Amino acid sequence: MSDPHVSLTASVVSPFALTAAEVAFWERLCATVDSLNSPFLSHHFTRAVAEVRPDVYICVIRRKGEPVGFLPFQFRTRLHKLLRVAEPVGECRSEEHTSELQSRQYL
């Protein structure tokens, strides 16, 4: 079991910047956690939206340098980006948007 006192770090990246290992972990995470098993929470959906929208990003949450979660988001307008007001990828078409954490113990 992980040390619960190790802090989390986060970085924001393009959906196209994830490594193959990170994508595989994200897919495994969605496949094994029932609440994350939705196409709207997948890397494939995020990449598909990013193909047509330049304002899609992923917050990669890490513990000890290893990914533990992914939070895909987008900005509706340039003003929203300037104000740092994000929304779920694909606008509000998915009510299932949530952070994709490996376990709630990290919160």
pLDDT band at 6 (very low <50, low <70, confident <90, very high): confident
Report which of residues 70 and 38 the model is more confident about.
Answer: 70
Alpha carbons 42 and 45: distance in angstroms, whole number: 5
CB within 8 A of 10, min separation 6: which ones? 59, 60, 61, 62
Whose tokens are 């490594």? That residue is 19
Three state DSSP letters for the chain:
CCCCCCCEEEEEECCCCCCHHHHHHHHHHHHHCHHHCCHHHCHHHHHHHHHHCCCEEEEEEEECCEEEEEEEEECCCHHHHHHCCCEECCCCCCCCCCCEECCHHHC
pLDDT, mean of residues 26-51: 90
In the prediction, which pLDDT does 41 show?
Answer: 86
Q: Is the pLDDT of residue 104 over 50?
A: no
In the prediction, which pLDDT does 100 show?
Answer: 43
Phi-psi category of 84—alpha, beta or left, where left has phi over 0 and alpha has psi -120 to 50?
A: left
Cα 2 versus chain centre, distance: 21
Q: What is the average pLDDT value for the chain, to the nearest integer?
A: 83
Q: Is the pLDDT of residue 93 over 80?
A: no
Q: Is the pLDDT of residue 107 over 50?
A: no
pLDDT, mean of residues 46-67: 94
Q: Is the pLDDT of residue 105 over 70?
A: no
Q: Is the pLDDT of residue 19 over 70?
A: yes
